[in-house]
A and B are shown apart, each in its own frame.
Chain A
Amino acid sequence: MTATQLLVTAPGIRNRARRRWTWKEVVFHLAVIAILVVILYPVAWMILSTFKPSAEILGNAELLPREVTLANYEKALGGIGGVSFWSFFQNSTILAVLSVIGTVLSSALAAYAFARVDFPGRTAFFGIMIATLLLPFHVVIIPQYIVFNALGMVNTFTPLLLGKFLATEAFFVFLMVQFMRGLPRELDEAARIDGAGHYRTFAAIMLPLLKPALVTSAIFTFIGSWNDFFGPLLYLKDPDLYTLPIALRLFVDQSSGSDYGAQMAMAVLALIPVFLFFLIFQRYLVDGVATQGLKG
């Protein structure tokens, strides 16, 4: 099999992986690794720079530290203004996990309604949902803040989570709608004939088949929440509630001195959970699709 053939066809059978390495495969893998090296160079630079003293980081792009130091990590782990690193970490984690749960569930529910249920107003609502993607968030922030303030929810996690549980992220609803439309209606019909209503069809048939979409949404939501700083900036006043992105921005401030070393160290530490999350869940992205009975 030539390399190009490998590229354009989908790999099918698993046991191909157990054959011995062919020369073509080795070359292919080496080529891919070469590409990876180029692509990941900035990441490598970032990680190595966290071991450089701050002065060495700016204004020069050398890869290896001339002087290795752990000072940046000490500062990052030391927290800010009496709030510990673990506090930031914990807050970020709580928000991210809850965001994932809320988004995945509510988006799947809404997507099912759009994709599988015929009811009046569906088209209009779908159009409205797409329209919500178009407005830049800055102009709705202040009215939203006023609403949340009126509800007494400022300085809690609620404003950051409520929307997630109410499917306000149209991107994921749309994504799941697209996936669902690719699943043949015969499955629904079959379930109906067996006596299942919409609720059972959704839970027992749709959700399992939606795994790639659910996992994609989970990963994107986790990352989005983990890195979100605008929402936490506006709604979290108490430093004990601060999340990692807010803490990160505190290290670099034009009005006082900037500490890029500590910021990068904290950023690297903040990368680890999100990378692990991806590592764990990425196989579900492609699993479950090739093996499901899509041929009906």
Chain B
Amino acid sequence: MTADTLTPPVTTPAEPPIPQAAPARRNRRKWEDIRAGYVFLAPWLVGFLLLTAGPMVASLYLAFTDYNLFTAPEWVGFDNFIRLWNDPDYLKAWQVTGVYVLVGTPLKLASALGVALILNAIFRGSGFYRSAFYLPSLVGASVSIAVVWKAMFIDHGPVDSVQQILGFPAGGWVGDPEKTMPMLILLAMWQFGGPMVIFLAGLKQVPQELYEAASVDGAGPIRKFGAITIPMLSPVIFFNLLLETINAFQVFASAYIISGGTGGPARSTLFYTLYLYFRGFRDFQMGYASAMAWVLVLVIAVVTVIFFRSSKLWVHYAGDEGR
């Protein structure tokens, strides 16, 4: 997929010079554009104003209040944010989430890319293989994954058996606070289906001629991978990396399901949004939870900007060739 990424502010490709036959025609086109733009955008605009903007503004307001869901919110200024700083559970939540983002996301993308490359090379029964490789992501989204995944990691389970064969000490991973994060990262990696599908679509868009030309020049497979596949795929890699990182920061469902809604054992699964949920819905501290939410927004926003800025260095926009 030759996609150029959007770095705000966007630079639209310059209009090819049109013979100035009639300025009126150009004006009319501009009004048509504006009108069409808003017509096409209308559903999104309505959705945003009606369903998203109000709640977003409200939650920002709540972040500066003490709100217990039962009585009117009470303004407390920055108290919530100050309290965050001194809250050991909050810092633990950052630690847990941070590890998951930094370690889990690259691993998940690596497995997704690996499988996409494999699938790209298969043509016999590709449909079957594609569906088979996608199956884990379907199962992983189900509530039952808790029982299933844990069963893999208990004493004498498959993982325990494998680790004994490899010479590691025996023992299940479930119930061991130090092994819970690796368990969850493996779960994330196991659900590579989503990014894999997108990688696959991207791989299919790489023009064959490039590989053929490289073959003629005598390039080997590794060289082709590094010089053709990766650069041509870089916009997709960027897209997946950005969105998986955002997802990893916000992970809730698997943490909730695997920990049974406790954040345990011993707070090893106390992910950020899980802690946020506890505070907001269980402890009636919705103001505090909103403050947590907006700190997260800030952090992710910073990360997103960094991603976009850095993309200029390593993302190759095929569409910009020759400029």
Task: Find residues 136-168 in chain A having any chain B CB closer than 8 Å to their own CB.
Answer: 136, 138-140, 142-144, 147, 162-163, 165-168
A26 to chain B, nearest CB (A): 11
Task: Find residues 1-51 in chain B having any chain A CB closer than 8 Å to their own CB.
Answer: 1-6, 8-10, 12-13, 32-34, 36-38, 40-41, 43-48, 50-51
Assess the B121–A136 pair: CB atoms within 8 A.
no
Q: Which one of A8, A45, A185, A212 contacts B117 once the chains associate, using CB atoms below 8 Å?
A: A8
Assess the A166–B273 pair: CB atoms within 8 A.
no
> Does any Cβ of A come within 8 Å of B148's Cβ?
yes
B212 to chain A, nearest CB (A): 9
With contact pairs A10-B203, A140-B59, A179-B3 given, residues A40 and B132 touching in the complex (Cβ less than 8 Å): yes
Task: Find residues 77-121 in chain B having any chain A CB closer than 8 Å to their own CB.
Answer: 117-118, 120-121
Q: Which one of B48, B132, B147, B319 contacts A168 once the chains associate, using CB atoms below 8 Å?
A: B48
Assess the B1–A182 pair: CB atoms within 8 A.
yes
With contact pairs A5-B221, A118-B37, A127-B8 given, residues A282 and B134 touching in the complex (Cβ less than 8 Å): yes
Q: How far is the CA of A14 from the CA of B123 in the complex (A)?
A: 8
Point out the residues of chain A lying under 8 angstroms from B142, CB to CB: 227, 248, 267, 270-271
Point out the residues of chain B lying under 8 angstroms from A271, CB to CB: 138-139, 142
Point out the residues of chain A lying under 8 angstroms from B184, CB to CB: none
Flag A1-35 by CB within 8 Å of B: 1 or 0 each: 01111111111101011000000010011001001
Assess the A10–B204 pair: CB atoms within 8 A.
yes
Point out the residues of chain A lying under 8 angstroms from B135, CB to CB: 40, 43, 275
Flag B199-222 by CB within 8 Å of A: 1 or 0 each: 011011111100100000000011
Assess the A282–B127 pair: CB atoms within 8 A.
yes
Q: How far is the CA of A282 from the CA of B248 in the complex (A)?
A: 25
Assess the A61–B37 pair: CB atoms within 8 A.
no
Q: How far is the CA of A194 from the CA of B10 in the complex (A)?
A: 28
Assess the A168–B47 pair: CB atoms within 8 A.
yes
Q: How far is the CA of A171 from the CA of B131 in the complex (A)?
A: 23
Assess the A136–B69 pair: CB atoms within 8 A.
no
Q: How far is the CA of A197 from the CA of B29 in the complex (A)?
A: 10
Assess the B201–A147 pair: CB atoms within 8 A.
no
Task: Find residues 168-193 in chain A having any chain B CB closer than 8 Å to their own CB.
Answer: 168, 171, 173-175, 177-179, 181-182, 184-185
Q: How far is the CA of A267 from the CA of B147 in the complex (A)?
A: 11
Assess the B152–A45 pair: CB atoms within 8 A.
yes
- Say which size band chain A's interface belongs to: 35 or more
Assess the A123–B8 pair: CB atoms within 8 A.
yes
Given contacts A117-B36, A147-B55, A168-B47, 8 further A-B contacts (CB under 8 A): A32-B118, A43-B135, A123-B8, A181-B5, A198-B40, A212-B201, A278-B138, A282-B130
Closest CB pairs A-B (n = 3): A166-B47, A119-B37, A61-B157
30 cross-chain CB contacts under 8 A: A4-B221, A7-B120, A7-B221, A8-B117, A8-B225, A8-B228, A14-B123, A40-B135, A42-B139, A42-B151, A49-B148, A106-B44, A106-B47, A113-B36, A118-B33, A122-B37, A136-B276, A138-B289, A139-B59, A140-B55, A165-B47, A179-B3, A182-B235, A184-B319, A267-B142, A267-B144, A275-B131, A278-B134, A285-B201, A289-B205
* B contact residues vs A (CB 8 Å cutoff): 1-6, 8-10, 12-13, 32-34, 36-38, 40-41, 43-48, 50-52, 54-56, 58-59, 62, 69, 117-118, 120-124, 126-127, 129-139, 141-144, 147-149, 151-152, 154, 156-158, 190, 194, 197-198, 200-201, 203-208, 211, 221-222, 224-225, 228-229, 235, 239, 243, 246, 250, 252, 260, 273, 276-277, 280-281, 286, 289-290, 293-294, 296-297, 300-301, 304, 318-319
* A contact residues vs B (CB 8 Å cutoff): 2-12, 14, 16-17, 25, 28-29, 32, 35-36, 39-43, 45-46, 49, 57-61, 106, 109-110, 112-114, 117-120, 122-123, 125-136, 138-140, 142-144, 147, 162-163, 165-168, 171, 173-175, 177-179, 181-182, 184-185, 197-199, 202, 212-213, 216, 219-220, 223, 227, 229, 245, 248-249, 252, 254, 260, 263-264, 267, 270-271, 274-275, 278-279, 282-283, 285-286, 289-290, 294-295
